[in-house]
């Protein structure tokens, strides 16, 4: 049964292009550790990480954090993130005002924003080794001052062209700015990406591309449900639609082809922003009749019933029986009696109380 089929195997790795310069592409995400929230921002070129504790995951705190960070390091070209809460109108307006592009990862597919996920794990490991949250800024400074694996430079050298002075004693000669050969850095980063792809693709499988309007199955938890491809974002990302018109953004990993026919419930579909909830319930406005003018409907009164019974009367009233009454079609819009009550259970006192006076009970 296609409803209980196994999950799709992993697809070949598709890496993001190596940036041409530091602070060009950033990734942002939230980190939760011991009941506290942190905003984590990482540079794709230098791996420089910025962290800030936050009480809530509201977009207002994110905008304040990014505004402060951009004033110190500059404005990037692209910021990668998950959907919620970064898909809000307020965040899009902020991006337009600062002139940077927004890229979203597919829902339930955090691998597409893997750089931010890696930075979150680094921050969690640092927090585990810290006894006081007040030491977090100094610990992050030490991380950004530590050379990266497979590279001879630290994030501070790649971003600031110098080694930062920390609490650890260091020579003044090392603190002097040095020239960084960014062409060589790009080659090393590309070699690192290619090596990761070789190991990742060993057990991967390429899934066929889906076409617009094709009937598909979507994985929702442990089950698969029938859907239809509404739009194509890219070769790995699709917009699918259910029978009620609600749309979902999913990665190809959660979609499968099917021969089952997709049957929509309604001809007119609503967009995501027109639905009142995330659950695919039937919109109330689609349940209303097409003709909303009550004057076009004729409601039967009791005075109309004799004229209807006369149509079936054979002229002999004495031969009429109770079974000869007219059975009115229940599909007609007849006025309903709103005074009908639910059946009442008959109550009787127990037999051992028969010798007692109970009043009206």
Could you tell me if 226 and 31 are in contact, meaning their C-beta atoms sit under 8 angstroms apart?
no
pLDDT score recorded for residue 243 = 79
CB-CB contact of 11 with 204 (8 Å): yes
Distance CA 239, CA 241 (A): 7
- Tell me, rounded to whole angstroms, the distance of Cα 297 from its chain centroid: 44
pLDDT for residue 244: 81
| Number of CB atoms found within 10 A of residue 22's CB | 23
Backbone angles phi, psi at 14, to 5 degrees: -115, 110
pLDDT tens per residue, the chain (361 residues)?
677 777 888 888 888 899 999 999 999 999 999 889 999 999 999 999 999 999 989 999 999 999 999 999 999 999 999 888 898 999 999 999 999 999 988 777 777 788 999 999 999 999 998 878 888 999 999 999 999 988 889 999 999 999 999 988 888 888 999 888 989 999 999 999 999 899 988 888 888 898 888 888 888 878 888 888 888 888 888 998 887 888 888 888 888 888 777 666 654 444 444 443 444 444 444 444 444 444 344 444 444 444 444 444 444 444 444 444 444 444 444 444 445 567 777 777 787 777 776 765 5
**Among 49, 52, 212, 211, which residue's Cα sits nearest to residue 142?**
49
Q: What is the pLDDT of residue 360?
A: 59
CB neighbourhood size of 103 (10 A): 14
pLDDT at 359: 66
Is 354 exposed, middle or buried, given 0-12, 13-18 or 19+ CB atoms closer than 10 A?
exposed
Ordered strands of the 78-81 beta sheet = 49-54, 36-43, 25-33, 78-81, 101-104
On whether the CB atoms of residues 145 and 47 are closer than 8 A, the answer is no
Q: What is the pLDDT of residue 339?
A: 52
How far apart CA 90 and CA 59 sit, in angstroms, is 8
Whether the predicted model's global pTM rises above the 0.75 cut:
no
CA–CA dist 308, 301 (Å, integer): 11
SS (H, E, C) the chain: CHHHCCCCCCCCCCCCCCCCCCCCEEEEEEEEECCEEEEEEEECCCCCEEEEEECCCCHHHHHHHHHHHHHHHCCCCEEEECCCCCCCHHHHHHHHHHCCEEEECCCCCHHHHHHHHHHHHHHHHHHHCCCCHHHHHHHHHHHHCCCCCCCCCCHHHHHHCCCCCCCCCCCCCCCCCCCCCHHHHHHHHHHHHHHHHHHHHHHCCCCCCCCCCCEEEEEECCEEEEEEEEEEEECCEEEEECCCCCEEEEEHHHEEECCCCCCCCCCCCCCHHHCCCCCCCCCHHHHCCCCCCHHHCCCCCHHHHHHHHHCCCCCCHHHCCHHHCCCCCCCCCCCCCCCCCCCCCCCCCCHHHCCCCCCCC
Q: Which residues pair with 20 in a beta bridge?
A: none
Output the CA torsion 328→331→334→340 (10° steps). 90
The reported pLDDT for the residue numbered 224 is 87
Look at residue 220 in the predicted model and tell me its pLDDT: 83
Among residues 122, 178, 134, which one has the least CA distance to residue 153? 178
Q: Do 154 and 45 form a contact (C-beta atoms < 8 A)?
A: no
């Amino acid at each position: 049964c296609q409803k209980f089929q196994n999950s799709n195997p992993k697809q070949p790795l598709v890496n993001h292009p190596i940036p041409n310069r530091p602070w060009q592409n950033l990734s942002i995400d939230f980190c939760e550790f011991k009941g506290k929230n942190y905003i984590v921002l990482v540079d794709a070129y230098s791996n420089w990480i910025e962290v800030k504790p936050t009480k809530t995951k509201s977009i207002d705190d994110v905008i304040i954090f990014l505004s402060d960070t951009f004033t110190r390091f500059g404005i990037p070209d692209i910021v990668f993130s998950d959907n919620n809460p970064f898909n809000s109108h307020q965040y899009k307006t902020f991006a337009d005002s600062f002139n940077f592009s927004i890229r979203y990862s597919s829902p339930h597919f955090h691998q597409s924003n893997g750089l931010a996920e890696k930075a979150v794990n680094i921050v969690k490991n640092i927090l585990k080794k810290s006894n006081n949250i007040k030491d977090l800024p100094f610990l992050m400074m030490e991380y950004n001052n530590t050379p990266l694996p497979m590279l001879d430079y630290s994030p501070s050298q790649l971003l600031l062209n110098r080694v930062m002075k920390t609490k650890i004693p260091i020579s003044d000669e090392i603190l002097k700015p040095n020239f960084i050969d960014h062409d060589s850095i790009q080659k090393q980063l590309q070699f690192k990406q290619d090596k990761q792809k070789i190991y990742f693709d060993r057990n991967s499988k390429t899934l066929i591309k889906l076409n617009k309007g094709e009937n598909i199955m979507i994985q929702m938890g442990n089950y698969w449900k029938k859907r239809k491809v509404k739009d194509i974002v890219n070769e790995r990302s699709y917009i699918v639609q259910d029978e009620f018109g609600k749309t979902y953004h999913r990665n190809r990993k959660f979609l499968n082809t099917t021969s089952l026919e997709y049957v929509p419930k309604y001809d007119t579909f609503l967009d995501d922003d027109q639905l009142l909830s995330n659950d695919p319930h039937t919109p109330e406005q689609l349940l209303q009749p097409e003709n909303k003018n009550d004057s076009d409907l004729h409601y039967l009164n009791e005075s109309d019933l004799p004229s209807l019974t006369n149509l079936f009367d054979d002229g002999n009233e004495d031969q009429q029986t109770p079974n000869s009454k007219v059975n009115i079609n229940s599909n007609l819009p007849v006025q309903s009696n709103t005074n009908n009550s639910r059946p009442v259970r008959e109550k009787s006192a127990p037999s051992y109380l028969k010798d007692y006076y109970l009043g009206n009970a």
